[in-house]
Amino acid sequence: MIADKVQGPRIVVTRTMPEPAIAMLREIGDVWVSDVNRPLSAQELHDAAVGAHALVTMLHDRIDTAVLTAAGKSLRVVANVAVGHDNVVDSHALAARGVALTNTPGVLTDATADLTMGLILMATRRLGEGERLLRAGTPWSFHLGFMLGPGLQGKTLGIVGLGQIGRAVAQRARAFGMHVAYTGRSPATCANEVDVQYMPLHEMLTTADVISLHCPLTPATWHLIDANALALMKPTAFLVNTSRGPVVDESALAEALQNRTIAGAALDVFEKEPEVEPRLLDLDNAVVAPHLGSATVETRTAMALLAARNVVSVLSGDGPITPVTLQARHG
């Protein structure tokens, strides 16, 4: 752990970030940055939070009542360097304390949408399987039946969650000649802008050739894709997840892939990240990536800078730039 001796509000950054963001924070306060190359343990996070005015957190940091109590009355903002904020497990306690919660929407939309299309191509065109074949030195020769996969033109992409990333994926899929449907809590007012058709989830699961998940993790979406949902999908269909791991029941998915209930899957996020269901690693029809959705230099820097700007804005008295709406629990 390292600490910078600068006067001003105490700002805790739970993992290293691009230097421009750290430099911005150092201009206004005393910045403590974890220098261990792993997530902080619960005790380390509690210890680091003591007396903090601002916490700059990552998706693996569990922000609960114990952390908030450790920070004390000085805490004014939790800036999560992610779009999702399911790691903040007691948002009611934040709201009751008047602590702002911010996230980093928008800046990672294109990078995540690009990766989604890459995962779709890897799964449908068997790119990972083909690379493994060559690296293993397996003899091969070209013929017209060799490692065939389905094309995307004319196929239906089903998007679960038509937020910013879902819309960006829809636009890219249309460029590949795909028909696009979506599902959500209700029909989206922006659907006409990206030429997509609303479907109830049940209908989409039975209709789409590719299902791509772009919904937040909530109690309603936990294991949204379970054994029953997978059984509804076509045996030629593919599942892609770049949202949050627990949206998919990984054990049920592994079984569905083994039994060829569905044709394949591509995952960038995992239920118990960084752990991966072991059976998925042995399946040729499973593509796995280590949470690379936002992993471009430009995007990760923009995420860190937006989180830093939120901290600066709150501590300067101007309020959050990208606030997450919190409601205190009453009664």
At residue 328, the pLDDT reads: 58
Under a CB-based contact definition with an 8 Å cutoff, are residues 28 and 312 in contact? yes
pLDDT digits (tens, 9 = 90+) for 273-293: 999 999 999 999 999 999 999
* Known catalytic membership, residue 244: yes
Can you tell me whether residue 3 is helix, strand or coil? strand
CA angle, 48 then 32 then 108, to 5°: 100
The catalytic residue among 44, 203, 255, 273 is 273
pLDDT bracket for residue 248 (50, 70, 90) = very high
pLDDT bracket for residue 7 (50, 70, 90) = low
Amino acid at 326: L
Distance from C-alpha of 48 to C-alpha of 32, rounded to nearest angstrom: 8
pLDDT bracket for residue 227 (50, 70, 90) = very high
pLDDT digits (tens, 9 = 90+) for 314-329: 999 999 999 998 765 5
At residue 192, the pLDDT reads: 67
At residue 191, the pLDDT reads: 63
Q: Of all helices (H) and strands (E), which one includes residue 238?
A: strand 238-241
At residue 330, the pLDDT reads: 46
At residue 194, the pLDDT reads: 74
First to last CA, the chain: 41
Output the six-digit token pair for 101: 């919660």
pLDDT digits (tens, 9 = 90+) for 135-148: 999 999 999 999 99
pLDDT digits (tens, 9 = 90+) for 158-214: 999 999 999 999 999 999 999 999 998 767 766 666 789 999 999 999 999 999 999
The catalytic residue among 26, 60, 92, 291 is 291
> DSSP letter at 265?
E
Can you tell me whether residue 266 is helix, strand or coil? strand
pLDDT at 331 over 50: no
How many residues does the structure list for the chain? 331
Domains of the chain: 2-106+297-315 (3.40.50.720), 109-288 (3.40.50.720)
| Model pTM score | 0.91
Residue 141 Rama label (left phi>0; alpha psi -120 to 50; beta): beta
* SS3 track for 273-308: CCECCHHHHCCCCEEECCCCCCCCHHHHHHHHHHHH
Under a CB-based contact definition with an 8 Å cutoff, are residues 22 and 35 in contact? no
- Tell me what the mean pLDDT of segment 14-35 comes to: 96
**Residue that is written with structure tokens 């306690």 in the block:** 93
* Known catalytic membership, residue 277: no
Tell which residue, 258, 19, 241, has the closest CA to residue 4. Answer: 19
At residue 2, the pLDDT reads: 44
- Strands 100-102 and 156-160 turn out to be unpaired
At residue 325, the pLDDT reads: 84
The catalytic residue among 10, 76, 172, 244 is 244
